[in-house]
Structures are given as structure tokens and as C-alpha cells.
Amino acid sequence: MTRRILLGVGILLTVGLSLFPFLWFVVTSLKTQKEVEAIPPTWWPSGSLDFYQSALVDHHLTDYILNSVLVAGSTTLLALGIGIPAAYALARLRLPGKVWILGALLSISMFPQLAIAGPVWQILERIGGLNTRWGLLLPYVTLTLPLAIWILASFFKELPAELEEAARVDGCGPWQTMIRVMVPLAAPAIFTAAILTFIYAWNEFFFALLILTQPERQTLPVGIALFQGEFTMPWGELAAASVIATLPLVILVVLFQRWIVSGLSAGAVKG
């Protein structure tokens, strides 16, 4: 009984410490400017939405949100469009050197962003991709594709071979088998790969700052970082913008948490 109580207290403390920064930002975003500057700080906000209006209108947060939706959504679609057939081929077809291919894919994701920033910038400069959304997609897809392929390939490996044999008997080729039979069954892994890819592209800061220089094309993390004034720090607007940027990801994870766990645990028992 004592162990259970201590375990429960430990879990509550861990969750509380993890959520406190986000909850404090929520509280701050609902304060007035006077309450933000109050010393000692006030713990209960008055419920004002002035900071949200200022962030959305005065600081053009809606433009940054639209840019992030376009970039993150396009990255997710491209990563899945390439990753699904690649993962199916690596998991189900007889290909020489599949282990080496998977190892090479994982090694790509291990490179720190700073190490590849110079080559990426030079390549985009030569092909005219600087300060364009499609130029930002190239490093995003490159960095998210290995994880997507790994998750999908692990799930495809667990599907029974009898399903493919039955599809061949019905006259389906490899593409038809993948699209009509295997992809619907791999929905948990596809959702997992899609959500993780979207979260990465939504939160990524370094390449967005490096590649997109015009304010009207910058994504949400970069736009929020530029909220800082010349002499003051708009803490209320920053808090409101951070809540707006974080809330969609929290909703996605909560809604699809079972699918995410199922997709990430694929291949953990069998292999």
C-alpha cells in the first residue's frame, strides 16, 4: 500500500512539473498587462483575451499559422507518399541489402542540423530554393523520412504473408496488394508516422530560420521568436502565441494516442 502511494505521488509530481510551464503560459495568456507586470505575480488571471487578439492581429500570427500548416502538411504528405511504398518494399519484397538500406536511412537522421546546414543552404541557393516553402520541404522530408520508413516497415513486417498470397490469387500485383490490402491494415503505423512527421515540421526552428528570410513566409516557431520588441519583451503575446502553437499538437496526440502507441510498438515483440 505504501509503495502504491509513493508511486502515485511520484507520478503526480512528475506530471505536474512537466505540465507547469505550459499551464503557466496558459495562465499568463489570460492576464492583463497590469497582472503580468505585478510583483509578486498573480496566480489567477482575470480571463482577458487581449493578448490573443494582439498576437493574432498585431503580430500577424495567423500568417505564421498558415505557413506552418502548409509546410507541415506538405511535409507529412510527401514523407508518407515516399515512405509507404519504400517501407513496403523493404519489409515485404526480396531486395538485396535491405539491412544496409535501413541502416543508411537511420544514419541520415543522426546528423546534427548544424553539420548539414552549410551544404543544404548551398544546394538550395543553386536551385533557387531559398526563401521558398518548397525549399524548406527538402530538408524536412529528408530528415523525417527515415523515421517514417522505419515505423512503417516494422508494422508491415508483422502483417501475415497469407494476405499477400490471397491478393495474388485474386490477380493483384504488388502495387494493388500494397494499396488495397496492406495500407488499410497499416493505418495505426501510418497515423503514427504522419503525426510524428507533422509535429517535427510544425516545431522545427533551425532550418525555417535559415531558409525563410521574408517575414510573410516564416513559420510559427520563427514568427513567435520575432515577437521580441526593441526595448520590451511582450510576455503576454508570447504566452498566447505559444498556447495557440501547442494546443493543436496536444489535441492530435490525445485523440490518436492509442494509434500512436500501436504504431510505435509494432515489431517490439516479434521480429
Mean pLDDT by 10 residues, the chain (271 residues): 81 85 87 85 85 88 93 95 91 81 79 85 90 91 90 86 82 82 86 91 92 88 81 83 89 79 58 42
Residue 271 within any structural domain of the chain: no
* pLDDT (0 to 100) of residue 271: 42
* Residue 98 sits in the same domain as residue 178: yes
Q: How far apart are CA 153 and CA 84, in angstroms?
A: 8
* pLDDT (0 to 100) of residue 269: 45
User: Residue 16 belongs to what domain range?
Assistant: 1-48
Q: How far apart are CA 165 and CA 148, in angstroms?
A: 26
* Residue 141 sits in the same domain as residue 176: yes
Find the CATH number of the domain harbouring 103. Answer: 1.10.3720.10
For the entire predicted model, the pTM comes to 0.85
Residue 188 within any structural domain of the chain: yes
* pLDDT (0 to 100) of residue 63: 92
Query: Helix %, strand %, coil % for the chain, to 5?
Result: 75, 0, 25
* Residue 38 sits in the same domain as residue 92: no
* Residue 1 sits in the same domain as residue 108: no
Q: How many domains does the chain have?
A: 2
* Residue 162 sits in the same domain as residue 214: yes
Residue 269 within any structural domain of the chain: no
Q: Give the SS3 label for residue 159.
A: coil
Q: What are the contacts of 24-30 at 24+ separation with CB within 8 A?
A: 25/239, 25/242, 25/243, 26/239, 26/243, 28/235, 28/236, 28/239, 29/236, 29/239, 29/240, 29/242, 29/243
* pLDDT (0 to 100) of residue 9: 83
